[in-house]
Amino acid sequence: MYSLPATAGSDRVCGVDEAGRGPLAGPVYAACVILNPAYAIDGLADSKQLSEKRREALTVEIKRHAFAWAIALATVQEIDQINILQASLLAMRRAIESLPLSPALILVDGKHSPRTDYEVQTIIAGDRLIPTISAASILAKTARDAEMLRLHYLYPQYGFDRHKGYPTQAHLKALQQHGACDIHRKSFAPVKRIIGENRIIK
């Protein structure tokens, strides 16, 4: 069990998590959620441990019953300019700033905290331990997956609908065959190598 500070007793505890630090393409997303303690949502867990169908169902329930939620992103260009960690924290800060009410406490998955004036506590494996962080991880994941599906129709040769930009064997093979496109993260090693071979698709 994880021990939370006294302020966690408030009904305005905000969970924050990101999705998309590892992929070679697409933006990184972050979400924050303030759950309603009077309405328990069954099945909240780390989004990576849930099926796509279950994540989608939980996303509807979270958005319908949470006190507040927000989703934000950092672009591919920002990832390449400030690195993926800082871009993830930027997306988190944007999500927090988009909340329609002020949180009493922010619980962030991992060990890094975004810049904010609110009280923050980081929690390793928080997406598995804290329901409000689990909810945030689910919203971030489903939002990013939806964006990668949209981008698939712009760049169908890479198979973004299947791997969502992660460095799978199929994605790496497509990179070798087609070069990098505008939504690939140019600062990531496999993409940088392709760019070095001057095989960029405009």
Is 50 exceeded by the pLDDT of residue 201? no
Domain limits, the chain: 10-153
Contact call for residues 175 and 24 (beta carbons, < 8 A): yes
Query: pLDDT-based confidence at 6, cuts 50/70/90?
Result: very low
pLDDT at 8: 47
pLDDT at 111: 96
**What's the whole-number average pLDDT of the chain?**
92
What is the rounded average pLDDT of the residues 162-168? 97
Percent of the chain surpassing pLDDT 70: 93
Query: pLDDT-based confidence at 200, cuts 50/70/90?
Result: very low
What is the rounded average pLDDT of the residues 5-26? 83
| Cα 141 to Cα 147: distance, rounded to the nearest angstrom | 10
| Cα 120 to Cα 169: distance, rounded to the nearest angstrom | 38
What is the rounded average pLDDT of the residues 116-136? 96
CATH classification number, 10-153, choose in 3.90.550.10, 3.90.1150.10, 3.30.420.10, 3.60.21.10: 3.30.420.10
Please provide the DSSP assignment of the chain as one string: -PPPPGGGGSS-EEEEEEE-SS-SBS-EEEEEEE--TTS--TT---GGGS-HHHHHHHHHHHHHHSSEEEEEEE-HHHHHHH-HHHHHHHHHHHHHHH-SS--SEEEEESS-----SS-EEEETTHHHH-HHHHHHHHHHHHHHHHHHHHHHHHSGGG-HHHHTT---HHHHHHHHHH-B-TTB-TTSHHHHHHHHTT-B--
Query: pLDDT-based confidence at 196, cuts 50/70/90?
Result: confident
Is 70 exceeded by the pLDDT of residue 4? no
What is the rounded average pLDDT of the residues 57-71? 97
Please provide the DSSP assignment of 15-56 as one string: EEEEE-SS-SBS-EEEEEEE--TTS--TT---GGGS-HHHHH
pLDDT at 198: 53
pLDDT at 194: 85
Is 90 exceeded by the pLDDT of residue 97? yes
